[in-house]
Amino acid sequence: MSKRRRVITIHLPHREPAVPAVLTFALVLLGVIGGLSSYVPDWNVKEPATPSIQAPNEQLASRALNERVESLLGKMTLEEKIGQLTQYSAGTMTGPGTARNDYNDLIAGGQVGSLFNVVGARLTNRFQRIAVEKGPHHIPLLFGYDVIHGERTIFPVPLALASSFDPALVQQVSHVAATEAADDGIRWVFSPMVDIARDARWGRITEGAGEDTYLGSAMARAYVQGYQGNDLGRPDSVAACVKHFAAYGAPNAGREYNTVDMSELTLRQVYLPPYHAAIKAGAATVMSAFNPLNGVPATADPFTLTTILRNEWNFSGMVVSDFGAIKELIAHGVASTGAVAARKALTAGVDMDMMSDLYRTTLADLVNSGELPQSVVDEATRRVLRVKFALGLFDHPYVDESHTPYVATPEKRALARAAAEETLVLLKNDAKPIPFAGNVLPIAKSTPTIALIGPLADSQVDMLGSWSAAGDPGDAVTLLNALQDRCNWAGTKLLYARGTEILTDSDEGFADAVVAAKKADVVILALGESAPKMTGESSSLTRLDLPGNQEDLLETITNLGKPTVLVLFDGRPLAIKWAAAHVPAILEAWYPGIEAGPAVADILFGDVNPSGKLPATFPRAVGQEPLFYNQLPTGRPADDIDLSHPPTGADKYFSRYIDETNAPLFPFGFGLSYTTFNYSNLKLSQTSISSTALSQPTQGHFLSANRIEVTAEVKNTGPVAGTEVAQLYIRNTGGSVEEPVRELKGFQRVTLAPGETKQIEFTLGFDDLSYYNLEMTRVIEPTQYQVWVGGSSLATQETEFEVTGE
């Protein structure tokens, strides 16, 4: 933590002096002045200054907007300013509440800046009228809501959306979510959650893009662009809220709200980039996290909230606390009273108090007693007002109440179905057991009898996943509904048996399930987790196997020897070791949203070829967690050791388990198709490049001399058309710090007809190849890079290049 600079300053964004660059400059100057004969190369080439960093969101930085802000600010009393920093939930609670629901008087008195969990044009307008008509300066309220993967039309959960490796899709679904939210009076969504999650025990892994920084950053950008478009002021734009800042996804032992402790190197290299990507895409707001980070609660951490967010990233939007998190500073032991908690949070950089009710009740006294400079309150108010002005709320505070009530129209269903189809991941598809012929999937349309078994086969509420906003479980089509339709039409007999409940010990239903399976030609088992009870916030687990007695049911049915497919509906990678060894076909469906049933059926019957890839590693055993592909190297790698049995001698002293192999059950980036793909001809534009060339500004146009172009060919070698997610990985060796054994640095969805070959291209420039050194500066050093291209993190097509020191 040598460079962890704790500053408690509140000021308009500026860039901190780049110490290493100054040092470098001084060294070069010394060299010149001293007339050194030999040239001293500058290994640590610093990230080039990029003009757009000055204003990641130009609207928020605009002079006209800020003039309006200043003019209003000048008229406000201290209490009114503090009111703008106060937020209450007027609906569902995810933490202790304020025990009040009479917000009318507070709003009329200008003591509330934002409400959340108030949904619908009529309801939001009702509160808005009080603020605008009775409030001291007619300042509109900002209504927020947890729109995480759809507002009324519920799409696949974010972890599923990440499996599509399709940012354009994510942008499209978030735009639909924005439009629906705006129709409901919501102009602020508490999304995207971009916390990197490397531990499947953590229930909120379902809300993000999984374990990878590059994929997570691409998804972060896509959500922000979908929500905000290019103009926050459009009536169908909503302000995004990037959360949870910072590193909330790395709690010790996967336990919710637990401590996060990591090196600054890992923080900057792995965890911060997705937040930064969202900020660079223009995200207007940020939510601070519940967790402490390296000894300081994120809600009161000036290092992340001011040094990084404001000074390094020039963020000029507003930061809201998480639910009741300011009050929790007392439990963290860093504040003895509510007033201390409020002062610490505000000075660290939390502008708005979500549900602690401490800003409203303590800040005025703190200012009046001289314990808190008024300028700190002014600056936070400015940031809140900026967002309100940018959204156009002052000019258009109300929403049209005459909108026709929400209906999941065929167009919305079509998008939800297409999205779900891209997110399903085929994990296994073996030959049918003897005496049957062919692979288990796709299921032949002429199959006479199908048995559908399991507690997730007909559960609408589970199909929506956690945080389903204003979605109606009644809109969800289950797998049973969808199969029934297909089977009626195809003349197939469908036998349905629930078999068991998600969480029970009773095996009462097993007998019916066995009877159904015995009569069937194909058996589909729909098993997994309860979305509301076991996934999302506050849903950490110590076991990752199938919950309840579903494993027993799975084994009982699979052992009947029928062609069996396991469809998993869950919010996290599960440890399904037995299934991976014994069930011939496995489809990871996550929670696919309202079109769950039709999308899964399309894949099962081969109308759609699966193309999803895993955004998070599947472990063999929970004890491997946290398990992720981009690990740092060890001095005793077990790569060449047979790990299938406990050590017998010299094979012991390696980085290994003695009771399990190191390998995942299914690796990051993995997913099968009904066709096969072959990679060949991996080539680089150059095998040597200088660090100087690579470090040219990355804004605008690249010169090809300043980057490495990677090309390869992908061929569809199977019998049907399919879409492959081609992935590019690198490894860097020889530098001043350890770099991961592999890192994703590019991906592309490629659709190929049978027999067709396409060339794919990737570019590796400064942003992809640079990394943080021990001075926390992004550098390119003279090192070697290995490059792989293929269909998963185990890609085998390999080549390499070097970066030279000139």
Return the active site residues: 322
> Would you say 190 or 679 has its CB closer to ligand BGC?
190
How many CB atoms are closer than 10 A to CB 644?
8
- CA distances to 15, 165, 390, 544 from 63, rounded to whole Å, are 19, 38, 12, 53
> Would you say 185 or 597 has its CB closer to ligand BGC?
185
**CA torsion angle for 568, 574, 577, 579 (degrees, to 10)?**
-10
Q: How far is the CB of 159 from ligand BGC (least distance, A)?
A: 15
Backbone φ and ψ of 104, nearest 5°: -55, -50
Q: Cα 495 vs. chain centroid, distance in angstroms?
A: 38
94 binds ligand BGC per the rule CB under 6 A = yes
Cross-strand bridge partners of residue 539: none
DSSP assignment of 635-655? SS--TTS--SS---STTSSSS
Please name the amino acid found at residue 20: P
Q: How far is the CB of 630 from ligand BGC (least distance, A)?
A: 25
> Would you say 299 or 783 has its CB closer to ligand BGC?
299
Angle among Cα 109, 113, 119 to the nearest 5 degrees reads: 110
**Residue 280 burial (C-beta neighbours within 10 Å; 0-12, 13-18, 19+):** buried
| Cα distance between residue 94 and residue 119, in whole Å | 16
> Would you say 1 or 331 has its CB closer to ligand BGC?
331
Q: Which of 183, 195, 199, 322 forms a contact with ligand BGC (CB under 6 A)?
A: 322
Q: Which of 364, 260, 246, 259 is nearest to 308 (CA)?
A: 246
Size of the site for ligand BGC (CB under 6 A): 8
Are the CB atoms for 175 and 238 separated by under 8 Å?
A: no
Are the CB atoms for 353 and 359 separated by under 8 Å?
A: yes
271 binds ligand BGC per the rule CB under 6 A = no
Backbone φ and ψ of 204, nearest 5°: -85, 5
Q: How far is the CB of 769 from ligand BGC (least distance, A)?
A: 34
Q: How far is the CB of 715 from ligand BGC (least distance, A)?
A: 44
Q: How far is the CB of 95 from ligand BGC (least distance, A)?
A: 6
Are the CB atoms for 108 and 130 separated by under 8 Å?
A: yes
Q: How far is the CB of 450 from ligand BGC (least distance, A)?
A: 40
Are the CB atoms for 388 and 396 separated by under 8 Å?
A: no
How many CB atoms are closer than 10 A to CB 777?
21
Please name the amino acid found at residue 196: I
Q: Which of 202, 227, 271, 323 forms a contact with ligand BGC (CB under 6 A)?
A: 323
Q: How far is the CB of 304 from ligand BGC (least distance, A)?
A: 16
Are the CB atoms for 447 and 522 separated by under 8 Å?
A: yes
DSSP code of residue 306: I
Q: Which of 95, 97, 735, 805 forms a contact with ligand BGC (CB under 6 A)?
A: 95
The pairing of beta strand 142-145 with beta strand 188-189: parallel
| Cα distance between residue 724 and residue 722, in whole Å | 7
Q: Which of 537, 570, 743, 781 forms a contact with ligand BGC (CB under 6 A)?
A: 537
190 binds ligand BGC per the rule CB under 6 A = yes
Question: Where is 180: in which H helix or E strand?
Answer: helix 167-183
Q: How far is the CB of 274 from ligand BGC (least distance, A)?
A: 15
Q: How far is the CB of 704 from ligand BGC (least distance, A)?
A: 43
Q: How far is the CB of 119 from ligand BGC (least distance, A)?
A: 12
User: Which tokens in the block code for residue 737?
Assistant: 């710090």
Are the CB atoms for 191 and 286 separated by under 8 Å?
A: no
Q: Which of 81, 152, 201, 243 forms a contact with ligand BGC (CB under 6 A)?
A: 243
| Binders of ligand BGC in range 129-168 (CB under 6 A) | 146
Contacts of 497 (CB under 8 A, 6+ apart): 451, 452, 453, 509, 512, 513, 515, 516, 517
227 binds ligand BGC per the rule CB under 6 A = no
| Binders of ligand BGC in range 30-89 (CB under 6 A) | none
> Would you say 540 or 732 has its CB closer to ligand BGC?
540
- CA distances to 126, 409, 570, 573 from 593, rounded to whole Å, are 31, 15, 12, 18
> Would you say 158 or 563 has its CB closer to ligand BGC?
158
| Binders of ligand BGC in range 690-749 (CB under 6 A) | none
> Would you say 86 or 556 has its CB closer to ligand BGC?
86
Please name the amino acid found at residue 394: F
> Would you say 538 or 681 has its CB closer to ligand BGC?
538
Contacts of 542 (CB under 8 A, 6+ apart): 201, 622
Residues that bind ligand BGC (CB under 6 A): 94-95, 146, 190, 243, 322-323, 537
